[in-house]
Structures are given as C-alpha cells and as structure tokens.
Amino acid sequence: MTTRSPANRQRAFTLVELLVVIGIIAVLIGILLPALSRARDQAGNVACQANMRQFYNCWQMYANWNRGHVLPARYQLHNAVTNAEFGFYEAMFIGTILKQSNSAGTNTGRGFDTARIIRQILQCKAANHDYDPNVEQAAATGTPAKYFGDYIYNTWMGSRKAGPPPDDVEDTVGSIPNPTITQVPGNVIILMESRKPNMVIDGAGVWQVITGLGGNDYKYYFQKNTEIWITGTTAGQPASALKPLRIGTPHSKNTKMNVLSADGSIKLVDPAKEFFVNYGDQGTVKQYLWDASNNQHTGWKKGVPGL
C-alpha cells in the first residue's frame, strides 16, 4: 500500500478558519454597504439638482422671450373649443422652451407633449417611481394633467383663473398676476420636490388619481402653507408635528428635499426644520415660501432669514 508523503498531502480549511474568513467578509460588507448607499443617494441628489438647473435655465429663457414675465404656474381656458387648465409643466409653457409645444393651448396631443417634458426635465432620479404610471401610457389614456413628475411650482409666479364657460372671462378675484423676473426677490422658492401622486389604472385602462389628503393630491403647485402641509401652521406647536401634504423628501434617508430659489440657488433642506425660523414654533414659518396676502407679495422681503 502506498501513502502520500506530507509534502504532497492537500491541506483543507479548518472550520475555524472558514468562520474567520466569513466573519471578515461580513465586516467588509458592513463597512461598504453604508458607503455605497451614501454614494447612491449623492448621485440621485446630483441628478435632481441638474434637473433643477435645467429648469432654471428654461425659467430665465421664458422670461427673456416674454418681456421679462416669468413662467406662469397655470392658465385656464373655458370656451367652446377648449375647457382645460394648463400647468407650468405642459406644452403651453415650459414646452415652448423645450421644443415640445405641438399641443400648446389645446387638448390635441397634449398628453404626449407632457410625457416628453416630464421625462426630459421633471423626474428626480432619487424618487421612487415604482408605482408611477408610465408617462406615455398615462398620456395615451387621457390623464396627463394629473401626472406632473416630481416637482411643484410656486403659484405666485402667475395664475389665470377663467370664469365659467363658454365666455372665458378672467376671474380677477381668483387670478394671480404674472410678475416680471425683477419683481421676484432672489430668496423666494420657485420650485420644490413633490410627494408622489398616487395613481391606479382602472378596469378601462385609464389612470385615475386616488384622492385623500386634501382631496386633490395631484396639484402641481403650492400657494400657501395649507397646500404644503395637511393642516395650517399653528403658533406654539413644534414644526415636527406637521405632516406633509404635497412636499416630498426623497433624499438623505427621506428626510431632505431640494428647493430652487429665484436667484438660481439650489439647496438641500430639511423642510420640517428649515422652513421655520424657530423649529419649535409653527408660527415662525418663513413667509417667502409663498405670498398669502392680497396679491401684494408682502411675504417677499429681502433680508428675511433665507435657506
């Protein structure tokens, strides 16, 4: 009988050695995963800010092409031909800058223009889109105006509210003047990230909005604090008690959001903390987020503590 010499004998790992190797691998994974998560979040944040920079460039171009007047938030038409409300994110407005304006002012082809605009400039890479409608499918089934991407716009940039059809007479009480770019102080927030609208597809293949919070979850604009939080701000109560209605926080473990100001600055903020002068008191909300008083823009004061 022949036997292998010690020099030729194959040496196997012992159980202890195997457990040590597994332990080292587990430690390395534990170290690397948070770093990878932070890198992924940072990449999403950079992509989101790139969207906002592109939007700001379009915002400036629109003003240059329209005698200094900034991009309006919405425009209503009520007449024998068209009965619709057109948002800032559609062909009639930002679509004119992005060369997606075939359907401007009409319902013909409106959805497809809107879908292309959303894909090009209004989708944050850090937001969860698993439950969003496919923008082309939503467009084809007639609900594009209820899907607006991941951002909401300041209504005080201009809002035309029309009277009842068919006359299309402007309702001066419900309308908000369209300011020039020089009338908007630099610290006014014009665009912020949005809580995703919840939509489901019905038996007929049409995307429908699930209403609940405020009854109009799909609003693509903000005008006052009750359109940002579920309840109005109450003096003496901490800001942490507010629940978001339309704002979204897809960054930094779902605690922060990007905001774009009229001076072009983009900041990553925690809205529950940084939208208030005093985090412990809702009554100290920073009024330059919107204008809540008689169309006079009294909340837009330079020198108010900014973000």
Q: What's residue 293's pLDDT?
A: 42
Kindly give, in sequence order, each residue whose CB lies less than 8 Å from that of residue 217, ignoring residues fewer than 6 positions away: 195, 197, 198, 209, 210, 211, 246
Q: What's residue 222's pLDDT?
A: 87
Kindly give, in sequence order, each residue whose CB lies less than 8 Å from that of residue 233, ignoring residues fewer than 6 positions away: 225, 242, 282, 283, 285
* Count of the separate structural domains present in the chain: 1
- Note the pLDDT tens digit of each residue in 187-231: 889 999 998 766 677 777 777 777 665 555 678 998 877 788 887
Domain assignment present for 185: yes
Domain assignment present for 28: no
- Residue 24 is encoded by which pair of tokens? 């080292």
Domain assignment present for 21: no
Which of 48-62, 132-146, 223-237 holds the top average pLDDT? 48-62
Mean pLDDT of the chain: 80
- The C-alpha atoms of residue 246 and residue 239 are separated, in whole angstroms, by 16
- Note the pLDDT tens digit of each residue in 146-177: 778 899 999 989 999 998 877 888 888 888 88
Asked whether the whole model's pTM tops 0.85, one would answer no
Judge contact between 63 and 69, C-beta under 8 A: yes
Judge contact between 93 and 61, C-beta under 8 A: no
Question: Would you tell me how many other CB atoms lie within 10 Å of the CB of residue 127?
Answer: 21
Question: How many angstroms separate the first and last alpha carbons of the chain?
Answer: 85
Domain assignment present for 27: no
Domain assignment present for 103: yes
Judge contact between 148 and 218, C-beta under 8 A: yes
% residues pLDDT > 90 (the chain): 28
Domain assignment present for 25: no
Domain assignment present for 169: yes
- Residue 4 is encoded by which pair of tokens? 């292998």
Q: Which residue in 306, 281, 251, 301 sits closest to 124, CA to CA?
A: 251
Domain assignment present for 50: yes
pLDDT of residue 35 exceeding 70, the answer is: no
Phi, psi of 230 (to 5 degrees): -60, -40
- Domain around 271: 34-289
